[in-house]
């Protein structure tokens, strides 16, 4: 999705080169979210410089560097600036649709936005009728125009404050958004607010902060300061002239000992990866928070008090390291992330699995274990690869816990208005923790009183904050759009959850021990599998890169691997690929098989081996030549078949290993086809819109 980045320095002198560089680096960290980008930078009083470029951040950098008239050494003691990388939802990727969008040629209000304004057509119609001319095809532009409309309709002398104005704007917006607003009427101030899209604020000071939180300030219950019956239409609520001014408490955190504001820098972004190189101290905005930064102070406002929400926002410390979001010696983030799996799986288990005592302790679930064990069913909800990790672990979950499990795609779950009850446990699996469909499904289940558990990779994400309890998979930042290490870590997190839930079942002890013993072997076994890389590269070039289609078949525990492998192939190489449950072959897909149809068959040694052998015969009887993913110790496979041999693990963990050759194959096919592996077309890492 779109990425937002803003930088503010207050009493910390920086030259223009530094500011622009900070914006561009911030954008490049967010580049995996979008396609076209721009930077904004204030210059003289009440003047904004806006740079736009379609495509990569490097092109924007080159464009700015070519502006010979720009004094890059000009110093700013205090300054506000912002930038945006766009994933087009409304309007083509082109300069005119690039953010920030402005209210008018004088840039009275400029806005960068991540999300979708669902009522933008209605707003645009009303604003156009009132003489506001639109310049882009985006939904975002109506935010800037609306701000100006409200401003213009206030009589001189009774103009609203910046916060009050943005509150009035937000009241009219429907949909999901994170926005940052700047205005010539409030020169050195910035407002940032979110509803449904992520936004966090990094804070950098030389001196330690006095306290680690910011108090939330509450306005009156009524609409703060819309216009006095704006020129005869009902777009905005009538003004409440007696509305009391906002209570403005001091944000103690940012004051120095003498009570004066201290030099400070703020970094606002949709993702911590854009902030971590500047500061690790961050504050996550909650839905409905309106952050106002003025004269070095950060104030967080809300329209009204919400009993379920804390009245403080903690300033937290990011655990992520800069090196984790750099490619290092790898060609692509995806490649790096595939290769990180021997370590990322250890990080998922660290401090949780005791291999000596063969026990599992998930601290985040400890107080809820009894409730989960008593529930009448567990519903897994997720999208894409995260959904596949649920499919992969469903059988072992059912076997160990003996609780009925259903696995739901979040969008379909919502479309069906699936019945959910108080004694259900709903588990939301999401790498980003920000996927719109999964969040909506979570809120749906919260409303119905179910216990909601989050399995996410992103500390501070919406899903990790809004669920009752959960497990962070600790795979480290995943930047490549195609999910790889998050899949294996989600898989392990779900297996660990099943292991802990079944710890009181004596009858399962032997099975549990076998699983825990193989979890211990995982890092080594993954390394052995990664050693197949060259062989897989060769295979992809010789046999697969020119194909139009690829079928991946298996059954039982390997069904999820087939689905996940096919998803990786199609999203990265744009080749049609389908994961097929081998048991379904004769119910239709067999018609596709002939000597020209490429097939990969997963035939590892588990209880279903004989049945997969029969699928192999059905395929070869139709002149198919499948490539077989099998175990290293399997001597039953005739030499005529091309094989990819992987180490054997206990059946329910084998999918952690069989998926790796498919990740690597999809990577190599994509590279050979000249596709940008880290930014597949039309896709974004974090799908924050429905």
In angstroms, rounded to a whole number, what is the distance separating the alpha carbons of residues 426 and 265?
40
273 vs 26, 278, 319, 340, 384, CA distance in Å?
8, 10, 11, 18, 22
Nearest CB to ligand F6R, comparing residues 574 and 609: 574
456 vs 208, 435, 462, 597, CA distance in Å?
31, 11, 10, 37
Compute the least distance from the CB of residue 383 to ligand F6R, in Å: 4
Compute the least distance from the CB of residue 5 to ligand F6R, in Å: 20
Q: Closest Cα to residue 95, out of 33, 152, 35, 139?
A: 35
In angstroms, rounded to a whole number, what is the distance separating the alpha carbons of residues 178 and 200?
10
Nearest CB to ligand F6R, comparing residues 209 and 475: 475
Contact indicator for 10, 78 with CB cutoff of 8 Å = yes
Q: Is 298 in the site for ligand F6R (CB under 6 A)?
A: no
Span of 193-201, 254-262, 367-375, 381-389 interacting with ligand F6R by CB under 6 A: 381-389
In angstroms, rounded to a whole number, what is the distance separating the alpha carbons of residues 678 and 29?
12
What's the CA angle centered on 162, arms 161 and 163, to 5 degrees? 90
List the one residue from 472, 687, 688, 689 that touches ligand F6R (CB under 6 A).
687
How many C-beta atoms surround the C-beta of residue 404 within 10 A? Answer: 12
Nearest CB to ligand F6R, comparing residues 25 and 489: 489
Nearest CB to ligand F6R, comparing residues 9 and 490: 490
Which segments within 121-246 are labelled E, that is strand?
175-183, 186-195, 200-205, 213-218
Nearest CB to ligand F6R, comparing residues 138 and 431: 431
Q: Is 386 in the site for ligand F6R (CB under 6 A)?
A: yes
Nearest CB to ligand F6R, comparing residues 114 and 435: 435
Per-residue tokens: 48: 């904004």
Nearest CB to ligand F6R, comparing residues 98 and 686: 686
Compute the least distance from the CB of residue 687 to ligand F6R, in Å: 5
Compute the least distance from the CB of residue 535 to ligand F6R, in Å: 23
Compute the least distance from the CB of residue 480 to ligand F6R, in Å: 8
Radius of gyration over alpha carbons of the chain, in Å?
Answer: 27
312 prior amide bond cis, ω within 30: no
Span of 110-118, 177-185, 370-378, 379-387 interacting with ligand F6R by CB under 6 A: 379-387
Compute the least distance from the CB of residue 87 to ligand F6R, in Å: 13
List the one residue from 385, 529, 573, 643 that touches ligand F6R (CB under 6 A).
385
User: Which one of the listed residues 2, 142, 375, 390 is annotated catalytic?
Assistant: 2
Span of 128-136, 151-159, 377-385, 414-422 interacting with ligand F6R by CB under 6 A: 377-385
Q: Is 114 in the site for ligand F6R (CB under 6 A)?
A: no
Residues 463-522 that bind ligand F6R (CB under 6 A): 482-483
List the one residue from 236, 567, 665, 677 that touches ligand F6R (CB under 6 A).
567
Per-position b or e across 510-535, b if 16+ CB within 10 A of its CB: ebbebbbebbeebbebbebbbebbee
List the one residue from 22, 37, 163, 435 that touches ligand F6R (CB under 6 A).
435
Compute the least distance from the CB of residue 280 to ligand F6R, in Å: 23
In angstroms, rounded to a whole number, what is the distance separating the alpha carbons of residues 574 and 577?
9
Binding-site string for ligand F6R from residue 516 to residue 555, where x marks contact by CB under 6 A and - marks none: ----------------------------------------
Q: Closest Cα to residue 410, out of 432, 438, 371, 385?
A: 438
Span of 32-40, 364-372, 424-432, 651-659 interacting with ligand F6R by CB under 6 A: 424-432
DSSP label at 488? H
* Residue number closest to ligand F6R, CB atom: 384
Q: Is 37 in the site for ligand F6R (CB under 6 A)?
A: no
Q: Closest Cα to residue 64, out of 80, 78, 48, 52?
A: 52
Q: Is 344 in the site for ligand F6R (CB under 6 A)?
A: no
Nearest CB to ligand F6R, comparing residues 246 and 445: 445
Q: Closest Cα to residue 634, out of 652, 653, 655, 610?
A: 610
Q: Is 2 in the site for ligand F6R (CB under 6 A)?
A: no
Span of 75-83, 158-166, 364-372, 380-388 interacting with ligand F6R by CB under 6 A: 380-388
Nearest CB to ligand F6R, comparing residues 83 and 552: 552
Residues 570-609 that bind ligand F6R (CB under 6 A): 571
Span of 69-77, 133-141, 425-433, 526-534 interacting with ligand F6R by CB under 6 A: 425-433
Nearest CB to ligand F6R, comparing residues 467 and 483: 483
Classify burial at 307, counting beta carbons within 10 Å of its beta carbon; exposed 0-12, middle 13-18, buried 19 or more. exposed
Which residues on neighbouring strands pair with residue 630, listed in sequence order? 645
Q: Is 393 in the site for ligand F6R (CB under 6 A)?
A: no
Q: Is 462 in the site for ligand F6R (CB under 6 A)?
A: no
Would you mind telling me the total number of residues written for the chain in this entry?
690
Total residues binding ligand F6R (CB under 6 A):
15
How many C-beta atoms surround the C-beta of residue 416 within 10 A? Answer: 9
Contact indicator for 100, 110 with CB cutoff of 8 Å = yes
Which residues on neighbouring strands pair with residue 76, listed in sequence order? 14
Compute the least distance from the CB of residue 458 to ligand F6R, in Å: 8
Span of 28-36, 156-164, 384-392, 491-499 interacting with ligand F6R by CB under 6 A: 384-392
In angstroms, rounded to a whole number, what is the distance separating the alpha carbons of residues 479 and 324?
9
Span of 108-116, 383-391, 418-426, 524-532 interacting with ligand F6R by CB under 6 A: 383-391
Instruction: Provide the CB-side half-sphere exposure for 59 (13 A, CA).
Output: 12
Compute the least distance from the CB of residue 566 to ligand F6R, in Å: 11
In angstroms, rounded to a whole number, what is the distance separating the alpha carbons of residues 151 and 579?
55
Expressed in angstroms, the distance from the first to the final Cα of the chain is 11
Nearest CB to ligand F6R, comparing residues 440 and 599: 440
DSSP label at 153? T
Contact indicator for 163, 87 with CB cutoff of 8 Å = no
In angstroms, rounded to a whole number, what is the distance separating the alpha carbons of residues 351 and 638?
44
Nearest CB to ligand F6R, comparing residues 401 and 464: 464
Q: What share of the chain is helix, strand, coil (3-state, %, to 5)?
A: 40, 25, 40
How many C-beta atoms surround the C-beta of residue 248 within 10 A? Answer: 13
In angstroms, rounded to a whole number, what is the distance separating the alpha carbons of residues 202 and 212?
13
Nearest CB to ligand F6R, comparing residues 435 and 558: 435
In angstroms, rounded to a whole number, what is the distance separating the alpha carbons of residues 646 and 526?
9
452 belongs to the catalytic site: no
Q: Is 438 in the site for ligand F6R (CB under 6 A)?
A: yes
List the one residue from 432, 559, 577, 663 that touches ligand F6R (CB under 6 A).
432
Q: Closest Cα to residue 274, out of 506, 33, 438?
A: 33
List the one residue from 22, 97, 103, 431 that touches ligand F6R (CB under 6 A).
431
Q: Is 430 in the site for ligand F6R (CB under 6 A)?
A: yes
Binding residues for ligand F6R (CB under 6 A): 383-386, 430-432, 435, 438, 482-483, 567, 571, 686-687
Residues assigned a catalytic role: 2
């Amino acid at each position: 999705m779109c990425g937002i980045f803003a930088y503010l320095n207050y009493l910390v002198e920086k030259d223009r080169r530094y500011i622009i560089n900070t914006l561009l680096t911030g954008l490049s960290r967010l580049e995996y979210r979008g396609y076209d980008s721009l930077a904004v930078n204030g210059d003289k009083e009440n003047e904004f410089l806006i740079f736009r470029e379609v495509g990569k951040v490097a092109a924007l950098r080159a464009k700015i560097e070519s502006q010979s008239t720009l004094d890059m050494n000009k110093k700013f003691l205090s300054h506000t600036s912002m930038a945006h990388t766009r994933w087009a939802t409304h309007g083509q990727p082109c300069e005119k649709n690039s953010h920030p969008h402005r209210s008018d040629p004088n840039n009275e209000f400029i806005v960068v936005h991540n999300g979708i304004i669902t009522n933008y057509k209605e707003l645009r119609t009303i604003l156009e009728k009132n003489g506001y001319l639109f310049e882009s095809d985006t939904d975002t532009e109506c935010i800037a125009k609306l701000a100006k409309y409200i401003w213009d309709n206030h009589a001189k002398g009774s103009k609203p404050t910046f916060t009050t104005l943005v509150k009035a704007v937000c009241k009219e917006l429907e949909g999901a958004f994170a926005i940052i607003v700047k205005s010539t009427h409030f020169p050195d101030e910035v407002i940032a607010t979110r509803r449904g899209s992520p936004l966090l604020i990094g804070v950098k000071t030389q001196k330690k902060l006095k306290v680690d939180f910011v108090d939330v300030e509450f306005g009156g219950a009524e609409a703060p300061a819309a216009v006095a019956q704006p020129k005869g239409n009902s777009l905005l609520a009538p003004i409440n002239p007696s509305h009391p001014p906002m209570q403005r408490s001091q944000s103690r955190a940012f004051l120095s000992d003498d009570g004066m504001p201290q030099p400070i820098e703020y970094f606002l972004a949709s993702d911590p990866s854009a902030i971590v190189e500047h500061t690790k101290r961050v504050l996550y905005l909650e839905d409905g928070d309106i952050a106002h930064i003025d004269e070095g102070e950060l104030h967080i406002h809300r329209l009204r008090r919400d009993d379920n929400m804390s009245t403080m926002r903690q300033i937290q410390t990011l655990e992520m390291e800069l090196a984790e979001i750099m490619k290092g010696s790898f060609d692509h983030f995806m490649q790096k992330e595939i290769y990180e799996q021997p370590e990322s799986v250890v990080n998922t288990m660290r401090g949780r699995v005791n291999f000596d005592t063969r026990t599992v302790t998930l601290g985040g679930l400890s107080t809820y274990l009894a409730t989960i064990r008593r529930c009448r069913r567990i519903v897994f909800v997720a999208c894409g690869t995260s959904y596949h990790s649920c499919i992969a672990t469903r059988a072992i979950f059912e076997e160990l816990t003996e609780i009925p499990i259903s696995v739901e795609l979040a969008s379909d779950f919502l479309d069906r208005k699936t019945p959910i009850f108080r004694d259900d446990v709903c588990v939301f699996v999401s790498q980003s923790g920000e996927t719109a469909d999964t969040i909506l499904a979570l809120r749906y289940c919260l409303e119905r009183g179910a216990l909601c558990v989050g399995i996410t990779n992103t500390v501070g994400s919406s899903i990790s904050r809004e669920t009752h309890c959960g497990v962070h998979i600790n795979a480290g930042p995943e930047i490549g759009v195609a999910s790889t290490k998050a899949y294996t870590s989600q898989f392990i997190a779900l297996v660990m959850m099943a292991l802990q839930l079944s710890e009181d079942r004596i009858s399962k002890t032997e099975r549990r021990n076998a699983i825990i013993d193989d979890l211990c072997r995982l890092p080594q076994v993954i390394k052995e599998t990664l050693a197949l890389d060259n062989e897989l590269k060769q295979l992809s070039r010789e046999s697969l890169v020119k194909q139009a289609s690829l079928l991946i078949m298996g059954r039982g525990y390997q069904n999820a691997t087939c689905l996940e492998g096919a998803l990786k192939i199609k999203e990265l190489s744009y080749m049609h690929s389908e994961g097929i449950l081998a048991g379904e072959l004769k119910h239709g897909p067999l018609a596709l098989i002939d000597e020209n149809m490429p097939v990969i068959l997963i035939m590892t040694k588990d209880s279903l081996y004989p049945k997969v052998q029969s699928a192999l015969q059905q395929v070869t009887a139709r002149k198919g030549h499948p490539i077989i993913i099998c175990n290293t110790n399997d001597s039953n496979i005739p030499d005529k078949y091309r094989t990819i041999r992987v180490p054997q693990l206990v059946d329910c963990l084998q999918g952690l290993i069989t998926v790796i050759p498919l990740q690597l194959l999809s990577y190599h096919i994509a590279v050979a086809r000249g596709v940008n592996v880290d930014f597949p077309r039309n896709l974004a890492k974090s799908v924050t819109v429905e």
